[in-house]
Amino acid sequence: MIKLFLQIVFILHISSPWLLGQELSSDSSVTIIKDIDPGLQAQLKEKGQRMLQIYLIRHAKPDLEKKFLCSSVQAQNYIINYNKVPIKDFDSALVRINLHKSHQIYCSSLPRSQETALKLFGDSYCIISDSVFREFELKIINVTSLVNLPLDLWKGLSRVSWFMGFNHEGIESYKKAKKRAALAVKNLENLANQEETAILVGHGMINAVIAKELKKRGWRFVQKKGHVNLGATLMQKLVVVE
């Protein structure tokens, strides 16, 4: 029972933008993506150590208008369109890329992730799209069309229901999604071991779950902004060089 309570608390925490109706953006800050300082790596190498890091970037905002009050059917249509529409144009200066090494950039198979990765990293880096990084699926709970609620409340309640093991008919269950997220973590760790810096242009929910799993594996938070559009969560780990 305590474990279930803690899971619900975590769900409410990472889905709070939906539950509170907040439309988060990165307009008030700049995200900086950079390699680890070579001088630091040289010092660590003398001690038989090496610093690795992983960036979890959230995609730009999709170009989709939202109603405040809507029925469950209208909310579901919004979710369907959200997964299809292009992103809104944004000032590329909001994300500063200061990478001096060649890197592979991961993104998900959803349009908003792919388009954001292309605009940020363009032809300068190898961009790899993989469905393992796609956002957790969401299906709005089935309620009579006579009930109108705020869109973000529909999403929040539906997500909590999904996390609790319900509301997953026709979509990926939370149990299967957790296994996929574990594979995503493994892929990112492997890339970080190869290149020192691993970068994912992903989504708010899966970014949060990936970060939670990385923390369990010994990674520490340097920055936590992966829930914000064009924001990034940065995690680092000191490893022993074999």
What integer best gives the mean pLDDT of the chain? 88
- Specify the CATH superfamily of domain 2-240: Phosphoglycerate mutase-like (3.40.50.1240)
pTM > 0.95: no
Of residues 72 and 25, more confidence is placed in 72
Domain range summary for the chain, segments of one domain joined by + = 2-240
Q: How many whole angstroms separate alpha carbon 176 and alpha carbon 166?
A: 13
CA angle 77, 136, 115 (to 5 degrees): 75
CB 226 within 8 A of CB 58: yes
Burial class (CB within 10 angstroms; exposed 0-12, middle 13-18, buried 19+) of 232: buried
How does pLDDT run across 203-237, given as a tens digit for each residue? 999 999 999 999 999 999 999 998 899 999 999 99
pLDDT of residue 119: 95
How does pLDDT run across 145-181, given as a tens digit for each residue? 678 999 999 999 999 999 998 888 889 999 999 999 9
Axis-axis angle for helices 174-195, 204-216 (nearest 10): 70
